[in-house]
Amino acid sequence: MITLVPSSIKKIKIEKAIMNSNPTFNYISTGTQYLRDEDIAKDHAEDLHIQKERYLTKKNDEYVGILEYTMENPNDQMPWLGLLVVNQNSQNKGIGREIYRIYEEEMRKRNVNEIRLGCMAENLIGLSFWEKQGFNKYKEMQYNERLMYGLKKLLL
């Protein structure tokens, strides 16, 4: 069973271990394979500004991932899933789908009818995952001078 544990600046080391177990994802999304404490601290500072909710995810007693979302993206006032990442050692075991399912259930409880996210065009594994969860591309954007797709899903 997956549980969500609110994250904070005090849990940077745990977050860094999860993020840095995915150097390819880091490179695609940030341009560097390995993040530093300062990089994660910067994300937490942004979380406060944009009012993001950020959680570490646990399976049994082991931290296995990070989930971050905002209920109102300042660009379109829509709920956005900002990050769902699973520790490399825990991938391909259905954990990402389970974390996403928990997120979607929470959005339904909050009476959300549409959720959005961005996925780098280079992230073919991510694009495939999101399409399997029912997301569709609705626009192309630039992020750090690279192509990103806007994906959305209607919750009916």
Q: Does 2-154 carry CATH code 3.40.50.300?
A: no
Beta carbons within 10 angstroms of residue 107's beta carbon: 19
pLDDT in the model for residue 47 = 61
SS3 assignment, position 77:
coil
pLDDT in the model for residue 46 = 74
What are the beta bridge partners of residue 150? 118, 139
Cβ-Cβ contacts under 8 Å for 133 (sequence gap 6 or more): 97, 100, 153
pLDDT in the model for residue 88 = 94
- Which residue numbers in the chain have pLDDT < 50? none
Q: Where are the domains of the chain?
A: 2-154
pLDDT in the model for residue 109 = 97
- Do β-strands 80-86 and 62-70 pair in parallel, antiparallel, or remain unpaired? antiparallel
Angle at 143 between CA 141 and CA 148, to 5 degrees: 45
- Do β-strands 52-59 and 114-120 pair in parallel, antiparallel, or remain unpaired? unpaired
